[in-house]
Structure 1
């Protein structure tokens, strides 16, 4: 018996007649300033411990859009998922679906919502007598979410532009126009400029990672003087500038950057010391919206958040394993506490239900060390010792404090922005790991898989000598140069879900032998390659091109 799993294709994800006949006024479809904040994510189950917990739980569930009134207008598997009372579908059994299939379903949902918002905008403009085929770029009556941003003022411009648009506009297809020195840059956004926009925006948000220590960096433990135990192992990795390095606009005005960089794990995390005023929280909300928009528009982002960020987005409770992935040495220290065989935990570890951490934004006058903040993990925690029977509760409260309470405002703003854009029913099909894959793509680059699916144009074919020389050069590149080639041609240096075998890729002949460099159309993943006279010349010209790929969106 053969079972075929169908998914929503671009053509299938159309809006039904009932939706076409229901024009919506702009005021009815959304509110400005990102719209009203959605309700928080699902509450976490209470932890099992022998001590009372005062750790704040994750916010309650974020709402998702209501199912359409006319399920017949949707392709059957997706309609069955949204309206299960009337249909049966494999979408209700997500463990049967591959990440690629889930990605296609999500893209089908996105295409449906994009078309709905485009048509709703056009009908609204026609009713008001404002409809025109020649609307200026960025007009609120345009069927696209059109952003005009200055390269030198990218983050503030984006924040301002998105905040002024109705929430429903975030469901439109995205188009971006860059300006420099007040002048619009050349180039039409067919996807390449959008990719460049996301790369630059994320780079600014993550730049300037602060040198911070996670809570627990000053924990004493057995044998601390000899360099052992929790005291030695729990020091959180010190941050360098992170991959972005240096000061940048990701740093909230007058305060630290949005994210800290954990050097040991090479991951970013929400900076506990970042300000929680409305302006800084708006930036975290924009970050969440940017992730949602990237998923919605099929753009892979080069970000390095720990898996717990995606687990929390899906309503999972943080665990010690999550903390260990973010800060391996801190996780090892807490595991040593749990594994200590003796009954004299209280006397050996000398810990109470208190967490201590470095806070560069405040100096606690009562602390033994200047700049160290002490926080009780429960009422009266400073007077409650950690014993053999309560150490499990201590570790649980500690983990929740570090990964939840300490960054609760920042994460809530991030989650609100994400779910405002990407909160449809299709998202519930994904596991946290699959969601991370959807956002970041796959780091492994299988160039042989890419060669198998590559198409050729302009006189090239798989058997052409210049094409053979090209793939010989590519296969012998180190990984970093292969990533540069992928970035030069597609605008992203990571593979999509399912690997490079799922990436549309074209190598096109752009003329006879010349000294000119190869070029690319990142909108369509096309490499324009002259027919160079030798493999050595091809290699030299290609390496120069991929090493200088900024501004690729103009092609």
Structure 2
């Protein structure tokens, strides 16, 4: 990557290189016969100038008091030669980098492909077969193809710029697929010659070009060549040494999203193909090879995912999801094997998909969370049962309940809950949760628990406590840096959120995604501040984007933040002596980072730490590592992506009711005519929450059944089972009136 070399000559065990800018000839290799021109027989590891009776100036050499120019250099077995010519205006050294039509590497062009395709109807001549084999067996030929025309000097290939046109490569390589004969020859050359010869340490940056262009070949996406082309190519890629792989990742990070997505989709398809083979059955003798193939493909996806994350998501993270996993693997068993591998670290074992969590979609991750919860609950229950069994042989030992039971009064739901949780041991949080409202008859089969979470979160988030600050513009809340409430309340809220996830119940918690980033030990950014405080974030972005040099004079800022608490205005320093540090052109990014850090971290550290401790007391563990912040948020609070037609489509009916029953038809007519708020009230009436689970409307599993009595009766919701008792109303008007009455009075549980 230093001086420009225009000629290379290689002998048996030594090399000469000509540098036109200095007129020097460098040599290296073995010098036993004096072939290196050092006037000795020593070997030389690194290039150094050849000694001679001349002094070099530019490309001019003085010999016998005449001006000469080096034209060509040559090497024999153990000899070296230089051809000089008298320097005239038209004399310049030969430049082997300039393509001479009489001698140049063969590259893939439109004209060459057209020539091949013109013979596609009959048997290909040997001349064409040889050309195809030459190009697709040679890394040099492919690296010299598809050069970016907008940058004619392709020797400027760097760590940031590959110097190739990937879209041109896609166009040319797809044209080859028009001929099955040509495609077969290309496949044979790639399989037998090119891919097996790829090394872990390419000679220079330009040799990495084919790693960008070759996957555009349609052969890579053909399931028939996954084993012979796509997987071996992935193996060659992931085996690259760190420096070349780092360059390749840099190039990937600058690809256009559709191009990058094609790489991801390719190896997702390969993984699905392999898993389907496994499901059909793999012979025991082939299991080891199959495991290697699957691991290679997943590692390739892992590298691409890492590139995507570091580049702030070239494509959305959900583009890495493999939705077919739900029926291709036993997700629960995979999770258990993964946990066992974490504990015992086997050197050789089956590939676990949990090692690559970015491929799991929301449904798969929910299954993983449920599996983890069941395992933890079963461990807690078994421990309680063992303790109870042991107590049978001991005098007066209190038995241990296999469930975490909360007996609470509606009017003191926070105090009663805190009292129970304070007395509970860590293992109790892992037990199944049962809720009992004092003086209410309902048995908790899920519905009472739903209402408990709804009521306690409403109470804890009430402004009267001053625990959280509400932001009008975003309608979101964040921890208040000034509160007079006991810090244990923040621990309680964290524990409640953990219990809700653990017991598969969504709760109303209007926090930004930043909260879930912090729960996953990720750092919030300015983008997160834009969600919580759009006005402030826009001002900070304006500061960063300001094009002039007079930042200090125009913005008049220092490293402080001003906040209003309980009617009083306070100034807080973002850094030590921040009042005395003016924000200028050179430190404005530091100011923005310090501001974001103050809002999300420093100002609320004790409160969030208590929340974090409560949350992780229930939900701590490996399973959380599998989630993205947005996914964890959806697990806690559900989402508001309502699809009412989907709700109707997945509703089941009992008794006399069916989809075309007259009462059912007018029910859906009335329901779809309701405004959004009333529809959400219906969800609250029926399920205990006005939000929907992460898996969508279909997971609500609404059931409607007829009930006795006449039209004077109201619909009744069995919230525990998402079951609606719907009388046989004779008209739309009556049904609408009774349904609205029912959903407007939905609090409290009684046996029906």
The two structures share one fold, judged by TM-score above 0.5: yes
Match of 1:272 among 451, 457, 481: 481
The answer on whether the counterparts of 1:489 and 1:520 sit within 8 Å (CA) in structure 2 is: yes
2: CA distance, partners of 1:75 / 1:485: 34
Match of 2:456 among 195, 198, 201: 201
Q: Does 1:517 align with 2:694?
A: no
Match of 1:83 among 340, 343, 351: 340
Q: How does 1:379-418 map to 2 (within 5 A)?
A: 379-418=576-615
The answer on whether the counterparts of 2:520 and 2:624 sit within 8 Å (CA) in structure 1 is: no
| Residue of structure 1 in register with 2:702 after alignment | 505
Match of 2:687 among 464, 467, 490: 490
1: CA distance, partners of 2:406 / 2:664: 39
Match of 1:176 among 435, 439, 447: 435
| Residue of structure 1 in register with 2:656 after alignment | 459
2: CA distance, partners of 1:427 / 1:128: 35
- With over 3 angstroms needed to count, the CA separation of the structure-2 counterparts of 1:427 and 1:130, relative to structure 1, is farther
Match of 1:350 among 548, 556, 559: 556
Shift of 1:355: 2.0
1:71-120 Cα deviation digits (max 9, x unpaired): xxx94211232233344211112221111110111011101211221121
Match of 1:438 among 606, 624, 635: 635
The answer on whether the counterparts of 1:449 and 1:501 sit within 8 Å (CA) in structure 2 is: yes
Shift of 1:157: 1.1
The answer on whether the counterparts of 1:454 and 1:506 sit within 8 Å (CA) in structure 2 is: yes
Q: Does 1:546 align with 2:743?
A: yes
Match of 1:3 among 275, 280, 283: 275
2: CA distance, partners of 1:96 / 1:4: 16
Report SS of the residue matched to 2:623. helix
**Larger relative contact order (CA 8 Å, sep ≥ 6):** 1
The answer on whether the counterparts of 2:637 and 2:691 sit within 8 Å (CA) in structure 1 is: yes
2: CA distance, partners of 1:553 / 1:490: 15
1:3-43 Cα deviation digits (max 9, x unpaired): 3699xxxxxxxxxxxxxxxxxxxxxxxxxxxxxxxxxxxxx
The answer on whether the counterparts of 2:440 and 2:750 sit within 8 Å (CA) in structure 1 is: no
| Residue of structure 1 in register with 2:304 after alignment | none
2: CA distance, partners of 1:107 / 1:380: 50
| Residue of structure 1 in register with 2:672 after alignment | 475
- With over 3 angstroms needed to count, the CA separation of the structure-2 counterparts of 1:455 and 1:535, relative to structure 1, is same
Report SS of the residue matched to 1:523. helix
Report SS of the residue matched to 1:543. helix
Shift of 1:285: 0.5
Shift of 1:187: 1.5
1:404-431 Cα deviation digits (max 9, x unpaired): 1000111010011001101121111110
2: CA distance, partners of 1:539 / 1:444: 25
2: CA distance, partners of 1:167 / 1:420: 7
The answer on whether the counterparts of 2:454 and 2:508 sit within 8 Å (CA) in structure 1 is: yes
Q: After alignment, is 77-86 or 471-480 more displaced?
A: 77-86
Q: After alignment, is 310-319 or 345-354 more displaced?
A: 345-354
Report SS of the residue matched to 2:563. strand
Shift of 1:375: 2.2
2: CA distance, partners of 1:493 / 1:516: 24
Shift of 1:290: 0.4
Shift of 1:155: 0.6
Q: Does 1:128 align with 2:391?
A: yes
Q: Does 1:259 align with 2:468?
A: yes
Shift of 1:513: 3.2
Shift of 1:288: 0.5
1:173-199 Cα deviation digits (max 9, x unpaired): 1111112xxxx3222111111111100
Report SS of the residue matched to 1:83. helix
The answer on whether the counterparts of 2:491 and 2:612 sit within 8 Å (CA) in structure 1 is: yes
2: CA distance, partners of 1:300 / 1:95: 23
TM-score by length of 1: 0.73
Q: Does 1:113 align with 2:376?
A: yes
| Residue of structure 1 in register with 2:538 after alignment | 332
The answer on whether the counterparts of 2:440 and 2:749 sit within 8 Å (CA) in structure 1 is: no
The answer to which structure has the higher helix fraction is: 2
Q: Does 1:154 align with 2:413?
A: yes
| Residue of structure 2 in register with 1:188 after alignment | 443
Match of 2:425 among 160, 166, 174: 166
The answer on whether the counterparts of 2:702 and 2:723 sit within 8 Å (CA) in structure 1 is: yes
Shift of 1:300: 0.9
Shift of 1:318: 1.6
The answer on whether the counterparts of 2:441 and 2:750 sit within 8 Å (CA) in structure 1 is: no
Report SS of the residue matched to 2:508. coil
The answer on whether the counterparts of 1:192 and 1:553 sit within 8 Å (CA) in structure 2 is: no
Report SS of the residue matched to 1:126. helix
| Residue of structure 2 in register with 1:236 after alignment | none
Shift of 1:159: 0.8
The answer on whether the counterparts of 1:522 and 1:553 sit within 8 Å (CA) in structure 2 is: no
- With over 3 angstroms needed to count, the CA separation of the structure-2 counterparts of 1:486 and 1:101, relative to structure 1, is same
2: CA distance, partners of 1:5 / 1:98: 21
| Residue of structure 2 in register with 1:287 after alignment | 493
> What do you get for the CA RMSD once the two structures are aligned?
2.2
Shift of 1:493: 1.0
Number of aligned residue pairs = 421
Shift of 1:552: 4.0
Shift of 1:359: 2.9
- With over 3 angstroms needed to count, the CA separation of the structure-2 counterparts of 1:202 and 1:498, relative to structure 1, is same
**Long gaps (5+) in structure 1:** 7-73, 209-246, 252-256, 362-370
Shift of 1:305: 0.5
Greater gyration radius:
2
The answer on whether the counterparts of 2:714 and 2:738 sit within 8 Å (CA) in structure 1 is: yes
Shift of 1:163: 0.7
1:108-140 Cα deviation digits (max 9, x unpaired): 110121122112112201211299xxx9xxx87
The answer on whether the counterparts of 1:192 and 1:554 sit within 8 Å (CA) in structure 2 is: no
Shift of 1:142: 1.5
Report SS of the residue matched to 1:261. strand
| Residue of structure 1 in register with 2:202 after alignment | none
Shift of 1:512: 5.1
- With over 3 angstroms needed to count, the CA separation of the structure-2 counterparts of 1:347 and 1:500, relative to structure 1, is same
Report SS of the residue matched to 1:372. strand
Report SS of the residue matched to 2:674. coil
The answer on whether the counterparts of 2:332 and 2:367 sit within 8 Å (CA) in structure 1 is: no
Q: How does 1:39-54 map to 2 (within 5 A)?
A: none
The answer on whether the counterparts of 1:94 and 1:429 sit within 8 Å (CA) in structure 2 is: yes
| Residue of structure 2 in register with 1:320 after alignment | 526
Report SS of the residue matched to 1:280. coil
| Residue of structure 1 in register with 2:511 after alignment | 305
Q: How does 1:231-270 map to 2 (within 5 A)?
A: 247=464, 251=465, 257-270=466-479
The answer on whether the counterparts of 1:261 and 1:268 sit within 8 Å (CA) in structure 2 is: yes
